[in-house]
Amino acid sequence: MPRAARRLLKCRREECVEARAGYLDQHRPLSPGRLTENDSAEQSRRSDTALPRISGIGPGSTRIIREVLDTGESPTVERAIDASDTRADIDRRRALRRHFLSRAEMQRVLSDPGFAGPTQQQYRGDVQMHSEWSDGAPSVQQIADACLARGYQYAAVSDHSHGLKIAGGMSMAEAAEQRLAIARVNARLGGQFRLLQGIEANIGLAGQLDLTDEEAATFEIVLAAPHSRLRKADDQTARMLAAIQHPSVRILAHPRGRITGSRPGVSDVLARRAFEAGYVIALDSDAHTIGQLAYAETALAHARLAAIPPDRLINCVALTVCRAIACADPLASLGSCAVLKDPGASALCRVRAANAAVRHASCSAHSSP
C-alpha cells in the first residue's frame, strides 16, 4: 500500500479513537467518589466508602473489587472458576501475566528511592519506536519534539523494514526519503537533540534478516525482532542467535513478542540474568504513537527491580557512546560485532579501551526487555 494511503488510514483511525475518547469524557458519570490515580486503595476498600459509579459495575462486581483490594484475590472468582472446566487454561494465562507491572506499581517503583538501577532523569534516549513511515502514527518531527519534551538527548526512529509487509515496512527508496526528513529535523533542532535513523529488521524462521548486508549498513542502528512463529513452544534460541550474528545487528528487540494473556514477556528476573551474564540492555518503548513513548517508563521500572546500573543500559549513555555502540567498526566501538561474536578477554579489553567512560559496557550481546 502506498505510504500516502497508509497515512490516511492512520489518520482516520486516530480520529475514531479521539472521537470515542471525547464521547466517553462527555458521558462518563461524574461523582465526588470518582477514582483518580492518586486515590488510596485503603480509602476505596472501606466498607463505608462508595466506589465510583461506572457503567456496568453492579453489586456483584463491587463485591469482587473489594475482595481483591482486601486480600489480592477474589474467593468469589475462584469458586466460579472451580465450578467451570476452564481452571487449567486460566492458570496458564495467569502464569503468562506473571511479573506484569500495573501503572500504579510502575509509578511506585520509579518513585521509591529504595530501588537501585536507573532513574527517569538518567534516561537519555529511546531507540525503538515507529513513525508514519511504517505502522506508526507520528511524523519524525513530532517524534523529535515529543522526545525533546520528555528530556531526551537523542532517540532512534526504527521503522519496520521492507520484508514485513503487514506492518507497512519501508522500501529502501522510502528509507532514503526518511533519511532526508530526519536530516531536516536535526538541522532544525541544532545541538538540542539528535534523531537517529534506525531500522527494525524482521527475523525469519531460520534467523535470517529481511535486509541484505548492504541495506543494513545504510542505517545508524539496526534492531532485529521476531514477528512470526511466536505462538510455538519449540526452542527458538538458534533462530535468535543466528540473527544477532549479522554484522550490523546491535539490539535483539522484543525477543518474546509479549501479548498479555497469550505470550510471556521479558521480566525483571530475565533482565537480571542478562545483566549477570554481561549483557548491555536496551529499555525502549516500541511506541507507535506519541503517547506510547511513556511505555519506556515500564521498562525502567523493570530495570530498577532488577537493580541494573545505568552504565549497563544503552539508553543511559551519552549520544557519542550510543553512536559508538551502533558503529559498524568492530574494533572502534562498544557493543560491536566483535563483542557479539567473541566474548573472550581480548574482545573485552578492546571494548574497555574504546571508551573508558562506560565501565561495564563489555558485553557479549544486546537484549531488550
- DSSP state at residue 86: -
Query: Does residue 257 lie within any of the structural domains?
Result: yes
Three cell numbers written together for 30: 461524574
* Rounded Cα gap, residues 305 and 224, in angstroms: 26
Query: Does residue 320 lie within any of the structural domains?
Result: yes
* Rounded Cα gap, residues 298 and 304, in angstroms: 10
DSSP string, 200-259: EEEE-TTS-BSS-HHHHTTSSEEEEEE-SSTT--S--HHHHHHHHTSTTEEEE-STT--B
pLDDT digits (tens, 9 = 90+) for 79-131: 999 999 999 988 888 887 777 888 889 999 999 999 989 999 999 999 999 99
Residues in the chain: 369
Query: Does residue 339 lie within any of the structural domains?
Result: yes
- Give the model's confidence band at 230: pLDDT under 50 very low, under 70 low, under 90 confident, else very high: confident
pLDDT digits (tens, 9 = 90+) for 287-327: 999 999 999 999 999 999 999 999 899 999 988 888 877 76
Radius of gyration of the chain (CA): 23
* Rounded Cα gap, residues 168 and 133, in angstroms: 8
Query: Does residue 64 lie within any of the structural domains?
Result: no
pLDDT digits (tens, 9 = 90+) for 12-26: 555 444 444 443 344
Query: Does residue 133 lie within any of the structural domains?
Result: yes
Question: For residue 285, what pLDDT is reported?
Answer: 93
Domain at 165, CATH number: 3.20.20.140
Query: Does residue 1 lie within any of the structural domains?
Result: no
Query: Does residue 100 lie within any of the structural domains?
Result: no
Which residue range is the domain that position 330 belongs to? Answer: 111-367
Question: For residue 81, what pLDDT is reported?
Answer: 92
How many structural domains does the chain have? 1
Three cell numbers written together for 108: 511506585
Question: For residue 182, what pLDDT is reported?
Answer: 97
The contacts of residue 118 (CB under 8 Å, 6+ apart) are 283, 300, 303, 304, 308, 309, 310, 313, 315, 316
Query: Does residue 92 lie within any of the structural domains?
Result: no
C-alpha distances in angstroms, 262 versus 95, 228, 258? Answer: 10, 14, 8
- DSSP state at residue 287: B
Q: What value does the mean pLDDT of the chain take?
A: 77
Question: For residue 4, what pLDDT is reported?
Answer: 54
